[in-house]
Amino acid sequence: MLDFFRNHKRLMMFMLVLVIVPGLGFVGIQGFRGFFDESANVASVNGHKITRVEYDDAMRQQLDRARQMLGAQFDMKAFDTPERRRDMLDGMIEQRVLADETQRLHLTASDDAVRRALLADPVISSLKNPDGSIDLDRYKQLLAMQGMTPDQYDERVRYSLATQQLPASIEASAFTSKTLAQHLTELAGQQREVQGIAFHPHDYAAQIQPTDAQLQAYYDAHRNDFATPATATIQYLVMSPATLSASLQPSDADLKKYYDDNIAHFRTEGEVRASHILIAAPKDASAADKAKAKQKAEEVLAQVKAHPDQFAQIAQQNSQDPGSASKGGDLGYFGRGMIAGGQAFDDAVFALKKDEISGIVQSDFGFHIVKVTDVKPAVTRPFDEVKDQIAKDLKTQLATKAFSDDSEGFTSLVYEKAKSLQPAADKYKLQVQTATVTPQPDPKLPPDSPLNNAKFLAAVFANDSVSAHNNTQAIDVGNNTLIAARVTDYKPAAVPAFDAVKDAVRQKVIAAQSSEAAHKDGIAKLAEFEKSKTTAGFSSPLKVSRNDSQGVPPAALSAIYKVDAQKLPAYVGVDLGDDGYAIYRVNQVVAGAPIDPQRLAAAQQQIAQVDAQSEVEAYAKALRERSKVKFYGSLDSNAQTADQ
């Protein structure tokens, strides 16, 4: 079908015009699009659509976090399951209903709250200048790389803070009684003395001698377990600001112009170190009080002029500034506007040379006598010193703009020139790379590798790619990254012949029969122990608790604590799956250590937090039940819509 479209473009465009244009007159462009948009959504909440793109991005981020945490132990099959996909969608629906309720109640966040949240962000905090202000140019550049303006990001933060208010208010009202906290803490600290005996499958392996008939039967029943996955050898292109920057090299003239246009960014303003003596006279003081303060300042100034080398001692005796008087009036280093003395104070101080003393300087706080003890002149870093950093910053800006300008053209070109990626590589100066992939992500690759993107892998193994060897479409994998590929060789999934995997089948059969033998022996022994009440064969007594399992498997610990404490000693058998079977003899219950007040208070707080979380979940569930939620088919493919 796609080949027909490609080979008859003019005919298909003409047919589309005949079909589409008349229809627009009746339903309008938005109405026409509505016939097809459902396939782009996974659900809607009160009319607000949750798009497939939003859902896929959220799922990808969750998988990336899991991959980063687990590294080589990450198993895509264990994480990318229908249950986890539904949980992800349920979470997004709850966020949406909570946002709707926030809007209904007209909740918002103040400008000051937004400012505090921004400054608390470590990334934004890292953009601070030496004077404590934020480098706005770098801030805008950082947001531009994410496709946002400062105003848009402010609103995103405001929205996030607003939606947190309802859950926060519920959590703040949570309370747990001291009695309940003490009871639960005692249960958590309670110990049980146990003895165990294990039946490991590997202890039975030497006894297992499966016949060829048993091996063949197992192979026939589990053929797919031995299948080799489909593989595709591909050529691929990655377009992103990073890949585009490799071909961008700003000229020296461009770098110099950037330097001249942003000279303030490379300048460190001058600073002085000064000491002062303040004779307080607040702005709202009476004229008489101000006159008295000024007279006192003139008397102190006379002392300073008579003994300039004793400025610090005179300041300690006379200055009414509690913050600096004890330090001889020292204010440290500061630039213009950094001391709350006003313009007159700045003008007087920055007019002085080192070791000069001012006359009387009036501000809103009273009358000052200032001595400059050091001067740091303004310094502008020379062009040659910052040239490399400018080149790096400018390349990033140019690459981001190039990606924005060229992404649509790249998408069109890999589709139009369907039999080769080289035209797109040549035009956009990208490197054609090669790889071999399977339908499932490769845990050995970096977490953010575009080769592990689920949408990309689905496109690679689509029929049009593996059969016709046409380019995939340019897949948006997030983070301003597009990837397109062409399959050069394809090997379908295959089940090897029995003889080729006979040894592997034998190991599987031995493992299965060994596990079965261990379980059978364990169950029989449990029946014997329950009759004899013996301790023969068991390990030495061990004290376990819910907080300290002493290596006892979770399933076994759970079974141990389900034993009736009034009917001891007691025996319990535990199926440990592939690890075999275990029997535990529960001898006695041992009370935990006394609970000190500090520990009890901490437990009370933790239990309250758990209770608060359950209250938040119940509240979200109630909001959802009164909301209109609509699903659009499965999370893996679009199907019929269904209302909730």
Question: How does pLDDT run across 129-144, given as a tens digit for each residue?
Answer: 766 677 787 888 777 7
11 versus 334: the higher-pLDDT residue is 334
374 versus 21: the higher-pLDDT residue is 374
Same domain, 404 and 487: yes
Last residue of a domain, one of 377, 406, 426: 377
- Residue 76 one-letter amino acid: M
Same domain, 421 and 467: yes
In a domain, 127, yes or no: no
Q: Could you tell me if 208 and 495 are in contact, meaning their C-beta atoms sit under 8 angstroms apart? A: no
- Compute CA 201 distance to the chain's CA centroid, rounded to the nearest angstrom: 42
| Residue 49 φ then ψ, to 5° | -80, 140
Where are the alpha helices (H) located in 480-553, listed in sequence order?
502-532
Q: What is d(CA 562, CA 546) in angstroms, rounded to the nearest whole number? A: 12
177 versus 623: the higher-pLDDT residue is 623
In a domain, 129, yes or no: no
In a domain, 205, yes or no: yes
Count structural domains, the chain.
3
Same domain, 362 and 390: no
Q: Note the pLDDT tens digit of each residue in 569-588.
A: 999 999 999 899 999 999 99
Last residue of a domain, one of 590, 608, 625: 590
- Domain with 307 in it: 270-377
Tally the residues of the chain. Answer: 644
217 versus 65: the higher-pLDDT residue is 217
Question: Once rounded to an integer, what is the mean pLDDT over residues 47-59?
Answer: 84
Same domain, 282 and 350: yes
Same domain, 435 and 523: no
- Which residues sit opposite 571 in a β-bridge? 585
Q: Could you tell me if 81 and 72 are in contact, meaning their C-beta atoms sit under 8 angstroms apart? A: no
DSSP per-residue string spanning 151-165:
HHHHHHHHHHHHHHH
User: What was the pLDDT predicted at 72?
Assistant: 63
Residue 526 has pLDDT above 90, yes or no: yes
Where are the alpha helices (H) located in 334-470, listed in sequence order?
342-350, 383-416, 422-428, 454-460, 463-466
628 versus 18: the higher-pLDDT residue is 628
User: What was the pLDDT predicted at 35?
Assistant: 37
| pLDDT > 90 fraction of the chain, expressed in percent and rounded | 41
User: What was the pLDDT predicted at 607?
Assistant: 80
Same domain, 373 and 274: yes
Which range has the top average pLDDT, 201-205, 284-288, 638-642? Answer: 201-205
In a domain, 559, yes or no: yes
- Quickly state the pLDDT bin for 71 (edges 50, 70, 90): low
In a domain, 613, yes or no: no
Same domain, 482 and 413: yes
User: What was the pLDDT predicted at 640?
Assistant: 34
Same domain, 417 and 367: no
Q: Note the pLDDT tens digit of each residue in 219-237.
A: 999 998 898 899 999 999 9
In a domain, 77, yes or no: no
- Residue 282 one-letter amino acid: P
Same domain, 470 and 519: no
In a domain, 265, yes or no: no
Same domain, 406 and 443: yes
Same domain, 370 and 277: yes
- Quickly state the pLDDT bin for 163 (edges 50, 70, 90): confident
Q: What is d(CA 367, CA 304) in angstroms, rounded to the nearest whole number? A: 14
User: What was the pLDDT predicted at 467?
Assistant: 92
Q: Note the pLDDT tens digit of each residue in 454-513.
A: 899 999 999 999 999 999 999 998 888 999 999 999 999 999 999 999 999 999 999 999
User: What was the pLDDT predicted at 153?
Assistant: 86
- Quickly state the pLDDT bin for 358 (edges 50, 70, 90): very high
Question: Once rounded to an integer, what is the mean pLDDT over residues 156-180?
Answer: 83
Last residue of a domain, one of 590, 610, 633: 590
In a domain, 197, yes or no: yes
Helices then strands, each counted (H, E), the chain: 23, 18
User: What was the pLDDT predicted at 636?
Assistant: 55
Q: What is the pTM of this model?
A: 0.47
User: What was the pLDDT predicted at 472?
Assistant: 96
User: What was the pLDDT predicted at 48?
Assistant: 87
Helices 52-70, 82-104: inter-axial angle, 10-degree rounding? 120
The CATH number covering residue 346 comes to 3.10.50.40
Rg (C-alpha) for the chain, rounded Å, is: 37
Residue 637 has pLDDT above 60, yes or no: no
Q: What is d(CA 575, CA 582) in angstroms, rounded to the nearest whole number? A: 7
Same domain, 390 and 244: yes
Residue 214 has pLDDT above 90, yes or no: yes
242 versus 472: the higher-pLDDT residue is 472
